[in-house]
Amino acid sequence: MIKSKISHIFIGQPRRFRADVFSSMNKKECSDPILLTHMGLEGDACADTENHGGVDKALHIYPSEHYALWHALIGDHPMLGKGCAFGENISARGMTENKIKVGDKFTIGEALIECSHGRQPCWKIEHNFGLKNMVIKIIKHGHCGLYFRVLKDGLIKQGDVIEQVHSPAHDWTISKIFSLLFQGRHKKHPEQLEQLIALEPLAEDWKRRAKSLIM
């Protein structure tokens, strides 16, 4: 079973991001206890509610060890020294895409969460960094981060333990699913798309993606 802890918590409100585009990607660190509900962290909000937020994207966790990998890929970029460079709500070590499966459940502070899918990278990450090809690099290396739905509301704070309490019988890690849906593995294993669609805990967004790849 996986055990980690909350290194940092970040929340934000929509702000002007580019021209007439608003985003909550640039979040601020929260050191006080904060309520986590089925719609996310209290005080955190999404500007684009069509593509972000909702019960399947209530909480975004990004593995803190990925920052060292990004330093190796793009150098000492100032965004990597600020934390929340990828718009995450929580930074935690050991919560990597190759370990976490869809349907894995964790206690986090007083709350209970379930992994629903990974994050699909978009242009806002590139704009945030001021670098082209960030999306390509995320897809190539699979450092996408994780989304969770909240099964039980509760207070969380920095330093709280994140402890796995349930692991489903299947082997669908976020890395395996990401490879199938975004790295082209579906071309060699098209039969796995149907298996993925039938995976009950998987968020509808990624089920639709799987359906779109079926020839």
Neighbours of 75 (CB within 10 A): 8
Backbone angles phi, psi at 125, to 5 degrees: -65, -45
Instruction: Give the largest CA-CA distance in the chain.
Output: 50
Q: pTM of this prediction?
A: 0.95
- Whether the pLDDT of residue 19 is over 90: the answer is no
Chain segment 154-205, per-residue pLDDT in tens: 999 999 999 999 999 999 999 999 999 999 999 999 999 999 999 999 999 9
pLDDT, residue 122, reads: 87
Of 16-20, 80-84, 181-185, the least confident: 16-20
Chain segment 102-147, per-residue pLDDT in tens: 999 999 999 999 999 999 998 889 988 999 999 999 999 999 999 9
- Per-residue pLDDT band at 83 (split at 50, 70, 90): confident
CA–CA distance, 16 with 152 (Å, rounded to integer): 33
For the chain, what are the domain ranges? 3-169
pLDDT, residue 50, reads: 67
3-state helix, strand, coil in the chain (%, to 5): 30, 30, 45
CATH superfamily placement of domain 3-169: PK beta-barrel domain-like (2.40.33.20)
